[in-house]
Structure 1
Amino acid sequence: MEVNSLHDLFVYELQGMYDIENKLVGALDELATETSNQDISRAFAEHREETEEHVTRLEESFRALDETPERQDNDVVNGLLSEHDQFQSIATNEDVRDMFALNAGMKSERLEITGYEGLLMLADQLDFGTDVTDPIESNVSDEKQALSDLQELAGGSKLKSLVSRLTG
């Protein structure tokens, strides 16, 4: 794909977000099953369902642009996934793994929020209609809520007991 205009850039970035969301469906499934803390596991499982909806919404934006949904490989999310795999091979303590997973979830949410905000900035410059932007705005709203939920979980009493076990 050649990128020579703001429209091309928007499509390129949309493809990148489409790749991220598709990859995260599987990653969230994995995080939900490998996390021993039930609250963290439940948060990942619930967000996995939302992420499937995010994929569908992005497909709506593609259709509104009369573009075929395609994925543009995103190296940032690839790095996060690689970091996860690498960490899993060296961490043996379940509580440490849970803390890592929670932090990884927050990193991912920030990545997604930033990506969606960039798309909305471009959409505004291109005067795209709500048929393109509404699905993206819904996704960024979900991502902000997911980040807030993870941050709340990180400050919760159950997590504090996990930290207490780790720090003795």
Structure 2
Amino acid sequence: MNTASGAAVKTLDDLFLRELEEIHDAEHRIGAMLVKMATASRCWKMKRAILNHLLETERHVMKLEQVFGCFELPVTRRTSKAIVGLVHAGAEIEADFGESPAINAALVSFLQKIEHFEIAGYTSLLQWAQLLGNPDAAELLEDILDEEQTAAQTWCEMARSTSNEEALGKQGWEDSEDSEEDEGIRRSSSVAT
């Protein structure tokens, strides 16, 4: 089907592929960013949560590659300009609050923004995979969406339980200067590119 100007009309298939390519790119960029966030955190509970989410992110990349396969499409990436912007904002937050007791609250706020972006993308992809009649892809996307929603809840609980209080100076700020542990965090990502 063509428009009056002769250009091909884009369909839901085209939209699905575009969003899939962008979320695939986003997951790669988020993986690299999570390594930096774990290093910046001054709370071991938060570092562990971020590193656990890094492992989930790596699994998300693999599941997305399977989704491409469900549609018999080559695995590709399209630059996610939204995530590029969010990652840039995260670097600014880290630079501005890196030596502050507010760093953990700043990181949690940033991570919540990332999760909401991902939840929106996966919700759309899931609905579209269902409409396009691909239950295998829909199941993979639903698994990822469930994990992203759980991660969002984790960050909310972390904000309520510790990081916001730390930012006020009402709880002990766990300043971690253990460079060996931080070096291990920097090496822990296979997604980081």
Query: Scaled by the length of structure 1, what TM-score is found?
Result: 0.90
1:52 matches 2:58: yes
Query: CA–CA distance in 2 between the matches of 1:97 and 1:70?
Result: 35
Kept in 1, the 8 Å contact 2:105–2:164? The answer is: no
Q: Percent identity?
A: 26
- In the alignment, which residue of structure 1 is the partner of 2:115? 109
Kept in 2, the 8 Å contact 1:113–1:144? The answer is: yes
| Equivalent of 2:28 in 3, 8, 22 | 22
- In the alignment, which residue of structure 1 is the partner of 2:168? 164
| Equivalent of 1:78 in 60, 78, 84 | 84
Query: Scaled by the length of structure 2, what TM-score is found?
Result: 0.79
1:137 matches 2:142: yes
Give 5+ residue unaligned stretches, structure 2.
1-7, 172-193
1:16 to 1:160, Cα distance in 2 relative to 1, 3 A: closer
- In the alignment, which residue of structure 2 is the partner of 1:95? 101
Q: Give 1:86 deviation, angstroms.
A: 2.1
Query: CA–CA distance in 2 between the matches of 1:36 and 1:92?
Result: 9
Alignment deviations for residues 17-51 of structure 1 (CA, whole Å, 9 cap, x no partner): 10111111111111111111222211111100000
- Greater displacement, 30-39 / 51-60: 30-39
Q: Which amino acid aligns with 1:77?
A: I
1:117 to 1:93, Cα distance in 2 relative to 1, 3 A: same
Query: CA–CA distance in 2 between the matches of 1:21 and 1:117?
Result: 15
| Equivalent of 2:12 in 6, 9, 19 | 6
Q: Give 1:62 deviation, angstroms.
A: 0.3
Query: CA–CA distance in 1 between the matches of 2:76 and 2:94?
Result: 30
| Equivalent of 2:75 in 48, 69, 84 | 69
Q: Give 1:88 deviation, angstroms.
A: 2.7
Relative contact order higher in (CA < 8 Å, ≥ 6 apart): 2
Query: CA–CA distance in 2 between the matches of 1:52 and 1:125?
Result: 27
1:3 to 1:151, Cα distance in 2 relative to 1, 3 A: farther
- In the alignment, which residue of structure 2 is the partner of 1:151? 156
Structure having the higher Rg: 2
Q: Which amino acid aligns with 1:58?
A: L
Query: CA–CA distance in 2 between the matches of 1:61 and 1:43?
Result: 26
Specify which structure has the higher proportion of helix: 1
Q: Secondary structure at the match of 1:114?
A: helix
Q: What's the Cα RMSD here?
A: 1.9
- Greater displacement, 75-84 / 48-57: 75-84
Kept in 2, the 8 Å contact 1:96–1:166? The answer is: no
Q: Which amino acid aligns with 1:68?
A: P
- Greater displacement, 116-125 / 56-65: 116-125
Query: CA–CA distance in 2 between the matches of 1:140 and 1:86?
Result: 28
Give 5+ residue unaligned stretches, structure 1.
none
Q: Give 1:135 deviation, angstroms.
A: 1.1
